[in-house]
Amino acid sequence: MTTQETRLGDIGERELTRHIQGRIPRAEVPVGVGDDAAAVNLTSPALVTADVLVEGVHFVRDAAPPRLLGRKALTVNLSDIAAMGGVSRHAIVSLCLPPELELSWLDSLYDGLLERAAEVGVSIVGGNVARSPGGIVVDVTLLGEAEHPLLRSGAHPGDLVVVTGELGAAAEGVALLRQGARLHEDGQLSTTGVWTESSAEALETCLRAQLDPRPPLALARSLAERGLAHAGMDLSDGLSSDLAEMCRRSQVGARIEVAALPISPAVAALERARGGDPLPVALHGGEDYELLLAVDPTQFGALQELAGVWGVAVCGIGEFFEGEPAVHLRDDEGEHPLPVEGHDHFRAEGFEGRRE
Amino acid sequence: MTTQETRLGDIGERELTRHIQGRIPRAEVPVGVGDDAAAVNLTSPALVTADVLVEGVHFVRDAAPPRLLGRKALTVNLSDIAAMGGVSRHAIVSLCLPPELELSWLDSLYDGLLERAAEVGVSIVGGNVARSPGGIVVDVTLLGEAEHPLLRSGAHPGDLVVVTGELGAAAEGVALLRQGARLHEDGQLSTTGVWTESSAEALETCLRAQLDPRPPLALARSLAERGLAHAGMDLSDGLSSDLAEMCRRSQVGARIEVAALPISPAVAALERARGGDPLPVALHGGEDYELLLAVDPTQFGALQELAGVWGVAVCGIGEFFEGEPAVHLRDDEGEHPLPVEGHDHFRAEGFEGRRE
């Protein structure tokens, strides 16, 4: 297959654009890919968000199978629309790609994008491709709809602090990738002998959480429709950082209990095995893509019931109170302020710089 | 002013995000910047487009004053929405920035973005900022509205091939920048003594066309509203390339006349002075951001009148005919096929690589 060897620089921008357009299924929209702009029908208010994956910052090429990267590029945006209580509809894919990149890499990226889009009923309606003199940039803009958008700013004093799912697995996944563990496109693990067989399941959980996150999209939408939360956002920068942001936007304080945190058992097992501490991973690790919610205590039962329908765990981890917008952590030794230590891509050396 | 010295890496992602959010005026939308997604009201069909400026491909840092770059990042998208006959409404700004970049550079970029947005009634409703291990990437997504989108695919045999404005100035501007000419933020020219004073106006015209293009937005919208064109697109890749695309999408051939081409007088003067030929610049040079239209001959008069109202020149340069989708050029020596030679960012070394 000569296609396997073809590099983007061999093809040229126009042919490449047509190649990509040829792969995208016709969308049921007034104007799809291929014109100056796409035309779509959306109910108001329409939601719009954009999130980008940058090589060397959000991923490294040899650790991120392109199909999974394509899935994730869409998923991080699906998570934002869902956290607003919305339904995702249409995506625009903007790529900056180095000319030495293989066409097969791009095809796999699109396999993942299209696969994920089909799973959630999203149509790709446009985009563009530009040469990158540096690394790969995958920037997806996602359009959606929400009758009653769920905001970060609605938390009331007395509301419960609620999170879905488990915390820390995606951040643990980054640490594992840095140590050389890999999850391949076919689902195969390669662990370069660092870990025992008994930890394979925990390894896979964390690598998958990092490389192919699954936010609770349906739960987010249906809880917003039923008005079961006063405020919501997705956990992308880490609990400490995101909860501080919700406090700031809602002008309330929050107190959370260490004992109540749904730390991922996989993280607990792996950290225990290496003599580490799972708590900071769960508190500050980014990219959980779970929901952070402010829930009236009288509605927590209804939320639990609804979450059960969707097979998602929900966990009350503390409460909001009237006071300075800051987060406090309560553990065996009492209550103390929780510093914001979510991952900061600007200050950090980044993924690549810190690889081991 | 210590701010002048502050670099993005000194600040961190969260503070940087808040700094940017603090600069963006409150938009009259249900949810503006600062939440997981923005919520906007749009009539259907809504238009959406995304276009990106990549450092080293679309611009070089020392030749593109950041304020003008900010203006252009929005303008290239305004041009797409206008070419669809639409009105631009809301923008999302996605930035990848190296940590060593000065905050003052980012502030100037936003000066330009906000200034241009205010000129055209667009509100910035969201975006994100990511660290770039390579160069700067400015990716803008623009939302608009159009009751009757004007497509590339509507050209009929017998329609006139019409362009607005003049051709070639933006591409000549790139050549001038490569030779060391500069247009500074304050409008001052620096020409490093290569050109005589008599060419200052021509130089400025071309540099401004490259650095701060002004597409005929209002004309585009009103001609679409009045149904004065069968097909339309903006000239971004160059006339030969864009006209070939319109032919391909409309399944018609096109014949254009060299004598009729509205070659920019500034390009003609500068090319004459250097012993060059302005014709290839006008035929193949990119980034004119003028309109390419397919117009029924019976409507050309009405189009001319409308264009006069908006102070825009329109020029019939040939006609579409039933036949293979290809472009033919007629000159003194007869008619011959016009090869597609628009600038190709993937194949070319790019702006930076070719600097002199």
**Three-state secondary structure of B48-68:** EEEEEEEECCCECHHHCCHHH
Q: Are residues A191 and A337 in the same domain?
A: yes
B226: left (phi over 0), alpha (psi -120 to 50) or beta: alpha
CB–CB contacts below 8 A, A to B = 257
Q: Are residues A135 and A202 in the same domain?
A: no
Residue B110 structural domain: 2-145
pLDDT at A351: 40
Smallest CA–CA distance from A154 into chain B, residue: B35
Query: Cis bond leading into A45, ω under 30°?
Result: yes
User: What tens digit of pLDDT does each residue of A243-259 get?
Assistant: 999 999 999 999 999 99
The ipTM value here is 0.92
Q: Are residues A189 and A255 in the same domain?
A: yes
User: What tens digit of pLDDT does each residue of B110-130 get?
Assistant: 999 999 999 999 999 998 999
Distance CA A70, CA A269 (A): 29
Q: Are residues B18 and B162 in the same domain?
A: no
CA atoms within 13 A on the CB side of B198: 3
8 Å CB contact between A346 and B11: yes
pLDDT band at A350 (very low <50, low <70, confident <90, very high): very low
Q: Are residues B196 and B338 in the same domain?
A: yes
Q: Are residues A119 and A177 in the same domain?
A: no
Sign of CA dihedral B226, B232, B233, B239: negative
- Last residue within a domain, chosen from B125, B145, B165: B145
Nearest to A38 by CA among A330, B15, A48: A48
Mean pLDDT, range A13-34, rounded to an integer: 92
Q: Which residues pair with B234 in a beta bridge?
A: B291
pLDDT at A103: 95
Distances (CA, A) of A263 to A161, A216, A303, B23: 15, 17, 20, 38
Burial profile B108-140: b = 16 or more Cβ within 10 angstroms, e = fewer: bbbbbbbebbeebebbbbbbbbbbbbbbbbbbb
Query: Amino acid letter at A180?
Result: G
- Packing angle between helix A265-273 and helix A169-178, nearest 10 degrees? 40
Q: Are residues B339 and B191 in the same domain?
A: yes
Distances (CA, A) of B65 to B5, B92, B187: 17, 21, 10
Query: Cis bond leading into B45, ω under 30°?
Result: yes
Would you give the distance in Å from CA A176 to the centre of its chain? Answer: 18
- Last residue within a domain, chosen from A122, A145, A168: A145
Q: Are residues B296 and B328 in the same domain?
A: yes
pLDDT at B196: 67
Q: What is the CATH number of the domain that holds A192?
A: 3.90.650.10
Q: Are residues B31 and B158 in the same domain?
A: no
Interchain proximity A139–B56, CB inside 8 Å: no
In B, residues 125-164, which contact A (CB 8 Å cutoff)?
Answer: 125-128, 130-135, 137, 139, 141-144, 146, 149, 151-153
Global pTM? 0.94
Q: Are residues A111 and A251 in the same domain?
A: no
Strand order in the sheet with A46-54: A123-131, A87-97, A137-145, A46-54, B38-40
What is the length of chain A? 356
pLDDT at B4: 56
pLDDT at B225: 95
Query: Which stretches in chain B have pLDDT values below 70?
Result: 1-4, 192-198, 342-356
Nearest to B247 by CA among B316, B163, B164, B321: B321
Residue B162 neighbours by CB under 8 Å, 6+ apart: B229, B291, B292, B293, B294, B295, B300, B303, B314, B315, B316, B317
- Last residue within a domain, chosen from B103, B119, B145: B145
pLDDT at B348: 54
Nearest CB to B50; choose among A47, A57, A92: A92
Residues of chain A found within 8 Å of residue B342, distances taken between Cβ atoms: 14
Distance CA A248, CA A230 (A): 15
pLDDT band at A314 (very low <50, low <70, confident <90, very high): very high
Determine whether A214 is exposed, middle or buried from the number of CB atoms within 10 Å of its CB (0-12, 13-18, 19+): middle
3-class state of residue A49 by DSSP: strand
Q: Are residues A231 and A295 in the same domain?
A: yes
Interchain proximity A40–B40, CB inside 8 Å: no
Q: Are residues A161 and A240 in the same domain?
A: yes
Nearest CB to B126; choose among A14, A42, A48: A48
Mean pLDDT, range A82-108, rounded to an integer: 97
8 Å CB contact between A9 and B346: yes
The mean pLDDT value of chain A amounts to 92
> Is B30 within 8 Å of chain A by CB?
yes
Query: How many distinct structural domains can be found in chain B?
Result: 2
Nearest to B70 by CA among B39, B115, B37, B32: B115
Cα-Cα-Cα-Cα torsion A284, A285, A286, A288, nearest 10 degrees, comes to -110
Distance CA A182, CA A188 (A): 8
User: What tens digit of pLDDT does each residue of B137-152 get?
Assistant: 999 999 999 999 999 9
3-class state of residue A213 by DSSP: coil
User: What tens digit of pLDDT does each residue of B246-299 get?
Assistant: 999 999 999 999 999 999 999 999 999 889 999 999 999 999 999 999 999 999
Q: What is the CATH number of the domain that holds A51?
A: 3.30.1330.10
Determine whether A157 is exposed, middle or buried from the number of CB atoms within 10 Å of its CB (0-12, 13-18, 19+): middle
Pairing of the two strands A253-257 and A327-331:
parallel
User: What tens digit of pLDDT does each residue of A134-190 get?
Assistant: 999 999 999 999 999 999 999 999 999 999 999 999 999 999 999 899 999 888 888
User: Nearest 5 degrees, angle CA A144-CA A36-CA B170?
Assistant: 130
Smallest CA–CA distance from A16 into chain B, residue: B346
8 Å CB contact between B167 and B262: yes
